[in-house]
């Protein structure tokens, strides 16, 4: 059995679904079900006896300790995190609580549990921590991509909180001998992503006839990774990764935000045509404070050591993603709660379009 945190969120639920589709090994899934945690993501396994869902907080030390003692997992895969930069700017406290304190609680519980193991159980136990490329900071246009040895330089409360959690994981490996692994991934996209992130937000707004808000000049560059590829990489690292090592997981797909939005509009023009091109809905808004200009990942280490590389190109992955959202518009409507809509208004409404700011 494996123990997954945050398994009702975007990446976590994709991981759980993929795990149970390919393996018989059960999963204990701990998720607090905040705004981005959604049991609808897991509807396909709600009757599956191999999936044990527990609603709870990783900051609850007694609960985490009890779950480890009861289920005795061979591995912990730690996805649970507050993960949206804009939300971290508006409310950084939640990010410190979940990403730093929550990871600390989980590490302490894992350390106590690991110390109780003997023989083969002890030898096989793993703690895999899922992190982000944002801990490395921002790149210039000609800078080489991030490697696993790039110095940390986080620029937002979100990335700072994830950097802190990465350091805690490293410390628990070196101080206590906890068998840890860390992965740092680039921007994920795909099914079940909460529609505050760029791609699902653009699709939802386009279909609703709303503006497509693009920060600044739209030239901020990200490396885009299909979520199914990310999950397959995590499985490979869990299986064969070298203890104490970090593995960068990237899609080898550097694109500016505006290029991504143009691609989405063009696919929607084909698959769900309207009276005019969806590009007409693009609206440039005031830039995010401290917006990192470029991220890029060097994923050669995981390919060299573990034989992993992404199966999807951006063109194949983004088409699958748009089609999924077109086929699951009920899912989008269900997750767009009143709290979500209030957040969108708070974040984007105050910025206004470029035209409104110039008036």
Which residues belong to the active site? 133-134, 158
- Per the listing, tokens 């960068």 go with 248
Distances in Å between the alpha carbon of 339 and those of 3, 92, 123, 344?
30, 18, 45, 9
- CA 353/CA 284 separation, integer angstroms: 6
- CA 101/CA 161 separation, integer angstroms: 9
- Per the listing, tokens 């609603």 go with 55
- The Cβ-side half-sphere exposure at 144, using a 13 Å CA radius, reads 7
Could you write out the DSSP letters of every residue in 222-290? EEEEEHHHHHHHHHHHHHHPPTT-EEEE--S-EEEHHHHHHHHHHHHHHHS--SS-GGGGEEEEPPPTT
**206: Cβ contacts below 8 Å, ≥ 6 apart:** 212, 264, 265, 268, 278, 281
């Amino acid at each position: 059995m494996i123990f997954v945190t945050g398994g009702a969120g975007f990446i976590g639920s994709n991981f759980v679904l993929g795990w149970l589709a390919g393996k018989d090994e059960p999963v204990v899934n701990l998720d607090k079900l905040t705004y981005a945690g959604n049991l609808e993501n897991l509807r396909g396994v709600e009757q599956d006896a191999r999936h044990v869902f527990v609603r709870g907080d990783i900051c609850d030390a007694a609960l985490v300790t009890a779950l480890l003692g009861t289920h005795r997992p061979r591995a912990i895969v730690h996805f649970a995190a507050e993960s949206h930069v804009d939300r971290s700017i508006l409310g950084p406290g939640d990010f410190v609580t979940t990403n730093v304190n929550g990871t600390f609680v989980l590490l302490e519980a894992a350390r106590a549990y690991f110390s109780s193991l003997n023989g083969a159980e002890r030898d096989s136990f793993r703690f895999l921590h899922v992190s982000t490329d944002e801990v490395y900071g921002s790149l210039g246009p000609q800078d080489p991509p991030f490697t696993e040895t790039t110095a940390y330089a986080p620029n937002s409360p979100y990335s700072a909180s994830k950097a802190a959690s990465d350091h805690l994981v490293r410390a628990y490996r070196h101080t206590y001998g906890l068998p840890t692994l860390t992965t740092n991934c680039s921007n994920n996209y795909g099914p079940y992503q909460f529609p505050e992130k760029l791609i699902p937000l653009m699709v939802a707004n386009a279909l609703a006839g709303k503006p497509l808000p693009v920060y600044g000049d739209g030239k901020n560059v990200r490396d885009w990774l299909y979520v199914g590829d990310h999950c397959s990489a995590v499985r490979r690292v869990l299986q064969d990764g070298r203890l104490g090592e970090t593995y960068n997981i990237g899609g080898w797909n550097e694109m500016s935000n505006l290029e991504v939005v143009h691609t989405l509009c063009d696919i929607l023009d084909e698959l769900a045509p309207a009276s005019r091109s969806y590009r007409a809905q693009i609206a440039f808004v005031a830039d995010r404070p401290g917006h990192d200009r470029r991220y890029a990942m060097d994923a050669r280490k995981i390919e060299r050591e573990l034989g992993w590389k992404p199966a999807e190109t951006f063109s194949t992955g983004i088409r699958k993603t748009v089609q999924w959202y077109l086929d699951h518009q009920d899912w989008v409507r269900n997750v767009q709660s009143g709290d979500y809509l209030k957040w969108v208004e708070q974040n984007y409404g105050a910025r206004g379009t470029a035209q409104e700011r110039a008036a």
